Structure 1
Amino acid sequence: MQTVGRDAERAALADLITSGGALVIEGDPGIGKTALLDAAVDDARREGFRVLRCSGLQNASPAGFEALHELLHPVLPLVDALPPKQRSALLVAFAMEDGPAPDRLVVSLAALGLLEEAAGERPVFVAVEDAQWVDPSSVAVLGFVAKRLSQAHLVLVATSRAPDEILVVPRLVLGPVDADAAEAILDDVAGDLPAVARSRILSEAGGNPLALRELAAALREHGPDRIGLESRLPTTKRLERAFLDRVADLPERSRRLLLLAAASDDADLQDVMAAARTLDIGVGDLEPLESTGLISVSGTSVRFRHPLVRSAVEGAATASEWTNAHLALAGVVPDRGRAAWHRASATLERDESVAAELDEAADRARRRGAQPEAVRAYQRAAALSTDVDRRARRLALAAETARSTGMSTEAVALLEHAEAIATEPETVADVAATRLNLSLQVGIPGHSRVELAALSAVLSRRPEDSDRRVKILWGAAIAARGRMASAADQRELAAELDSIPTSNPLKTVGLALLHPPDRADELRAQLPALMPALASDPHGLVTLAVAAEARHDLDTALAAWTRSYERFHEQGETADQTQSLRGRAGMQLLLGRLREGLTDAEYAVRMARDTGQPMMAAMAHATVARANALLGDVGEAQRALDEFHELAGVGPLAVASADARWAAGLIALGEHRYRDALVELTYVTVHPARALWAIADRTEAAVRAGRPDMVLDDLRRAETAASTSSYLTALTARSRALLADDESGFRTAVEAAEASDSTIELARTHLLYGEWLRRKRRPVDARSHLGEALRRFDVIGARTFAERAAAELRAAGEAPVRADAAGSAGRKSLTPQELQVAQLAAQGLSNKEIADRVYLSHRTVSTHLYRAYPKLGIAGRAQLAAALADR
Structure 2
Amino acid sequence: MSGRAVPDSRLEGGAGTSDNEPPPGQLVGRDHEIGRLRGLLAALKTGRGSVVWIEGEPGVGKSALIATVLAEAAEAGCRTALAVGDQLVQGLPVRALLDGLGRAGDVAELDWDVAVGGDPVPVAVERLLSLVDRWCARAPVVLAFDDLQWADEASLLAWRELGRLADQNRLSLVSACRPVPVRPVIARLRRTTLQRRAVHLPLGPLDPTAVVALTALLAGGQPGPGLRAVATQAGGNPLYVRELVDALLRDGLLRLARGSAELLSDGEFAGMSPAGAIAARMDFLTSEATNTLRMAAVLGHGFSVSDLATVTGQQASELLPVVDEAIAAGVLAEDDDRLVFRHGLIRTALYEAAPVSARLAMHRQAAQALAEAGLPVDRVAGHLLLSPESFDGWVLDWLVDHAVELAHRVPQVAAELLHVAVERCGGEPRQAKLLYGLATALLLLNRLHDAERVARQALAQAAEPEAMAEVAWVLGRTLARLRRHSEALLVCEQVAAQPRIPAVWRARLNACRAYALAISEQGVAAKAAAERALTEGQRLADGTTTGYAALSLYMLLDYASGLVCLEQALADIGEAPETMDLRVPLLVNRSTCLDELGRHDEAEAVMGEALTLTQRRVTWRLATVRCTAGWQYLDIGRWDDAKAEFESLADEPDEYVRWVLLGGLAFIACHRDEKALTVELLAAADRMPQPTGFLLGATSHLWMARAVDAEQRRNIAQAAKIFIRTVGIEDGVRYYDRHLWLPDVVRLALAIGDADLAHAAVAAAEADVAAEQLPKRHLAARRARAVLDGDIARLMEVADDYRVVGRPLELGQTCEEAAVLLAREGERASARAWLTDAVSAYLQLGATWDVRRADGRLRQLGVRRGPRAIRHRPATGWEALTPTEQRVAELVTEGLSNPDIAAEMFLSRRTVQTHVSNALAKLGVASRTEIAREAARRNPR
TM-score, with normalisation over the residues of structure 1? 0.67
Partner of 2:736, secondary structure, is helix
- Per-residue displacement from partner, 1:99-121 (whole Å, max 9, x unpaired)? 999865344222222244232xx
Q: Offset of 1:336 from its aligned partner?
A: 2.1
Paired letter, 1:599? D
Q: Is the 8 A contact 1:104 1:141 kept in 2?
A: yes
Q: Separation in 1 of the partners of 2:697 and 2:230?
A: 70
| Structure 2 equivalent of residue 114 of structure 1 | 135
Aligned to 1:57: 86
Q: Is the 8 A contact 2:363 2:383 kept in 1?
A: no
| C-alpha distance in 2 between matches for 1:786 and 1:311 | 77
1:420-466 Cα offsets, whole Å, 9 max, x none, are: 434544333442465367x4xxxxx4435245334333324457555
Tell me whether 1:533 sits opposite 2:575 in the alignment: no
**Distance verdict in 2 for CA 1:568–1:377, change over 3 Å:** same
1:765 is aligned to 814
1:235 counterpart residue number: none
Query: Letter of the aligned partner of 2:939 in structure 1?
Result: A
Once the two structures are superposed, the pairs formed by residues 867-886 of structure 1 within 5 Å of their partners are 875=939
Letter of the structure 2 residue corresponding to residue 349 of structure 1: D
Tell whether the 8 Å contact from 1:477 to 1:513 is kept in structure 2 after alignment. Answer: no
Say which of 575, 582, 599 aligns to 2:627. 582
Q: Return 109-118 or 802-811, whichever deviates more.
A: 802-811
Separation in 1, partners of 2:560, 2:310: 70
Please tell me whether the aligned partners of residues 399 and 414 of structure 1 are also in contact (alpha carbons under 8 angstroms).
Answer: yes
User: Aligned match of 1:834 in 862, 875, 885?
Assistant: 885
Alignment of 1:263 with 2:298, yes or no, is yes
Residue aligning to 1:602: 644
Q: CA offset at residue 260 of structure 1?
A: 0.9
Question: What corresponds to 2:496 in structure 1?
Answer: 459
Q: Which residue of 2 aligns with 1:327?
A: 365
1:355 paired residue number:
399
Secondary structure of the 2:814 match is helix
Structure 1 stretch displaced more, 677-686 or 696-705: 677-686
CA separation of 1:510 and 1:718: change in aligned 2, threshold 3 A: farther
Question: Do the aligned partners of 2:435 and 2:455 also contact (CA within 8 Å) in 1?
Answer: yes
Equivalent residue, structure 1, for 2:7: none
**Post-superposition CA distance 1:239-288 (Å, at most 9, x none):** 98996787699764344223112112443345436755749996666688
TM-score, scaled to structure 2: 0.64
Aligned mate of 2:532, from 497, 502, 514: 502
Q: Residue 542 of structure 2 aligns with which residue?
A: none
For residue 484 of structure 1, what is the aligned residue in structure 2?
none
1:431 to 446, 450, 474: 474
Equivalenced residues, count = 797
1:93 pairs with 2:113: no
Match of 1:472 in 2: 512
Counterpart of 1:260, as a letter, is M
Secondary structure at the residue paired with 2:172? strand
Match of 2:436 among 370, 373, 393: 393
CA-CA distance at 1:22 after TM superposition: 1.7
SS of match in other structure, 2:51: strand
Matched residue, 2:540 = none
Q: CA-to-partner distance for each residue in 1:667-724, whole Å, 9 max, x for gaps? A: 6646867578679879999973356633444665677689999999888766654542
Residue 83 of structure 1 corresponds to none
Distance 1:48-1:451 versus aligned 2 partners, 3 A rule: closer
The 3 A distance-change label for structure 1 pair 210 and 307 is: same
AA at the equivalent of 2:508: R
Find the aligned partners of 2:778 and 2:115 in 1 and give their Cα distance.
53
Task: State whether residues 765 and 784 of structure 2, in contact with CA within 8 Å, keep that contact through their aligned partners in structure 1.
Answer: no
Contact 1:578 1:604 in 2 (8 A): no
Aligned counterpart in structure 1 of residue 375 of structure 2, from 313, 336, 360? 336
Structure 1: distance between partners of 2:136 and 2:36 = 23
For residues 168-207 of structure 1, the aligned pairs below 5 Å read 169-170=193-194, 177=204, 181=207
**SS of structure 2 residue aligned to 1:336:** coil
Cα separation, 1, equivalents of 2:112 and 2:591: 42
Whether the aligned pair in 2 keeps the contact of 1:770 and 1:782 (CA below 8 Å) is yes
Identity %: 18
What aligned pairs does 1:244-643 form with structure 2 within 5 A after superposition? 252-265=287-300, 266-269=302-305, 271-272=307-308, 276=312, 278=314, 295-296=332-333, 301-311=338-348, 313-315=350-352, 316-320=354-358, 322-324=360-362, 327=365, 331=369, 336-337=375-376, 340-341=380-381, 344=384, 348-351=391-394, 354-355=398-399, 358=402, 362=406, 373=410, 376=413, 380=417, 387-399=430-442, 401-402=444-445, 408=446, 417-422=454-459, 423=462, 424-432=467-475, 434-435=477-478, 439=481, 445-447=482-484, 449-461=486-498, 465=505, 467-476=507-516, 490-491=521-522, 495=525, 498=528, 502=532, 504=534, 510=552, 513=555, 526-536=561-571, 539=582, 542=585, 555=598, 563=606, 565-567=608-610, 569=612, 572-573=616-617, 575=619, 576=621, 578-590=623-635, 593-595=636-638, 598-599=640-641, 602-603=644-645, 618=658, 621-622=661-662, 625=665, 628-629=668-669, 633-634=672-673, 638=677
CA distance in 2, matches of 1:29, 1:644: 50
Q: 2 CA distance for matches of 1:251 and 1:541?
A: 59
Tell me which amino acid in the other structure corresponds to 1:582. Answer: C
Aligned to 2:4: none
Query: 2:757 & 2:267 partners in 1: Cα distance?
Result: 88
Show the counterpart of 1:126.
143
Q: Secondary structure at the match of 2:166?
A: coil
- Structure 1 residues 420 and 694 mapped into 2: Cα distance closer, same or farther (>3 Å)? farther
Q: In 2, Cα distance between the equivalents of 1:318 and 1:776?
A: 94
Aligned-pair Cα RMSD in Å: 6.5
Change (3 A) 1:176 1:144: closer
Query: Does residue 688 of the first structure (1) align with residue 709 of the second (2)?
Result: no
Kindly indicate whether the alpha-carbon contact (under 8 Å) linking 1:55 and 1:128 is maintained by their aligned counterparts in 2: yes
Separation of aligned partners in 2, 1:139 and 1:158: 11
1:527 is paired with a residue whose SS is helix
Q: Deviations over 1:339-381 (max 9, x none)?
A: 7458857762243653377569759xx7xxxx5x465368647
Question: Of the two structures, which has the highest relative contact order with CA contacts closer than 8 Å and spacing of 6 or more?
Answer: 2
Q: How far 1:129 sits from its partner (Å)?
A: 1.0
Q: Counterpart of 1:689 in 2: which secondary structure?
A: coil
Structure 1 runs not aligned, ≥5 long: 80-89, 228-238, 403-407, 440-444, 481-488, 515-521, 878-887
Q: Which amino acid aligns with 2:344?
A: P
